[in-house]
Amino acid sequence: MKALILTPSTKDVSVQEIPVPKPRDGEVLIRVHAVALNPIDSIYVVHPIAEQEQRVIGTDFAGVITAVGPDLSSSTDLRARIGGRVAGFHQGACSTNDRPGAFAEYITAPYDLLWSVPDGMSLSDASTISMCGLTAAQGVYSRLGLPCPFDDQTGALTTNGSGITNVLIYSASTSLGLYAAQLVQHAARTSGRKIRLIGTASPSKHDLLRKAPYSYDVLVDYRDPNWVDKVKKATEGKGIDFAVDSISEGQTVYSVHDTLAATAKMAVFRGPKGGQYDPSELRIKPIYGAVWEGLGHEIGYNGAIFPANPEARVFATKFFNFLSTAAADGNVKLEPNPVRLMPGGLERIVPDGFTLLGSGLVSKRQDTSRTEDYMRPISGEKIVYRIQGEA
Ligand SMILES: NC(=O)c1ccc[n+]([C@@H]2O[C@H](COP(=O)([O-])OP(=O)(O)OC[C@H]3O[C@@H](n4cnc5c(N)ncnc54)[C@H](OP(=O)(O)O)[C@@H]3O)[C@@H](O)[C@H]2O)c1
């Protein structure tokens, strides 16, 4: 089979032939139909941290099960049956230790870290959800503690005495922000409490964000020099109770911090080093975590070792079960990101997709100067490649 392989020592990435992997106990073999791109896919190719000779790169995937591990042959779970349509994510080259990647014609994965894609959803759409959806769920439920529709831990909603909880999502049109808003709306439904959802995004995205499933109450332009004051005014001067900084890069962290009420919580998705901010300057400490914890393995990442985190893995399985229920009841729990289906397959991911993503800060992405329509800057969309079969 073909796979997109990084040689860390030379930073070379090429499509190569490697053996089709075999599913072990608890795993399934998946024919990959679609993959979605994330900023870290390109960052850790241009600045490799992998310590092996070669690594299959890529995180988000969706496809069809073609074989199951020895212990799953009589399983009735839709995610462990040949022909099942599933989605999930791998770590790709985003760790020092060896972990599997998604950009290949076939991959294996533990069935309980997959979700069952409903018949009405394309595999391209499904490929956009797993990694950023789980990241957003970890941020909104595990770190901020908002009421969670699929976990017993029922968070409390701070209301500052007004009966309304003020939630800010900075950079609402990021992939992460599009999922975080939907999860905040699930928290409001789960608790029966009123949440005032406030977002920052380019004005061209405001119409999309006002509508369901995002349903923002207030939107401001993050390029407006007065956006922090406008957000505070929208809270009637009380400040934000829960903030999600979907960019978490330098000034965004300090500005989001300026909107917070005294008892607020704030979730970030880049650590201080990668995000270039100093938590010691902040009254309320931003809460950071890496989505990889959900995969349940020890990982070497950004100069640290993240030990295997069984609790985070259990949370991930509950999240994927929650997504899977749509396959049975027909109600999609998270709308996928709008998809930009790119021309070509594995061989075009680096020259086109990674050019769009860049390899530095999201907030400093340069226009690529490429003239093809599919090379316009990423805004409120996920970049998706078809690998094989129906996507
Ligand atoms: N901790 C983790 O485990 C984890 C997991 C996933 C992602 N992440 C990180 O989360 C960040 C977001 O990832 P993503 O995939 O969601 O990004 P993305 O969708 O590629 O981000 C694109 C968006 O960035 C927005 N943007 C650009 N510059 C901005 C600025 N200065 N202020 C506000 N918004 C700006 C644009 O908004 P407009 O179009 O509205 O201008 C655009 O919609 C990345 O840094 C990623 O590495 C972390």
Give the pLDDT confidence score for residue 20 in this predicted structure: 98
Measured CA to CA, the distance from residue 114 to residue 94 in angstroms comes to: 19
Residue 341 has φ and ψ, to the nearest 5°, of -80, 115
Q: Is the CB of 135 under 6 A from ligand 1?
A: yes
Q: Is the CB of 379 under 6 A from ligand 1?
A: yes
Q: Is the CB of 175 under 6 A from ligand 1?
A: yes
Give the pLDDT confidence score for residue 154 in this predicted structure: 61
Give the pLDDT confidence score for residue 329 in this predicted structure: 85
161 alpha carbon – ligand 1 mean position (Å): 33
Buried b (16+ CB within 10 A) or exposed e, 23-55: beebbbbbbbbbbbbbbbbbbbbeebbbeeebb
Residue from 176, 208, 254 to probe ligand 1 pocket by mutation (most atoms less than 8 Å from CB): 176
Domains of the chain: 2-129+295-386 (3.90.180.10), 132-289 (3.40.50.720)
Measured CA to CA, the distance from residue 36 to residue 103 in angstroms comes to: 9
Whose CA is closest to atom 11 on ligand 1? 247
Which atom of ligand 1 is closest in space to residue 292's alpha carbon?
3
Encoding tokens for residue 221? 């332009």
Give the pLDDT confidence score for residue 391 in this predicted structure: 85
Q: Is the CB of 3 under 6 A from ligand 1?
A: no
Which DSSP symbol is given to 253? H
Give the pLDDT confidence score for residue 163 in this predicted structure: 83
Residues of the chain predicted below pLDDT 50 = none
Measured CA to CA, the distance from residue 85 to residue 253 in angstroms comes to: 39
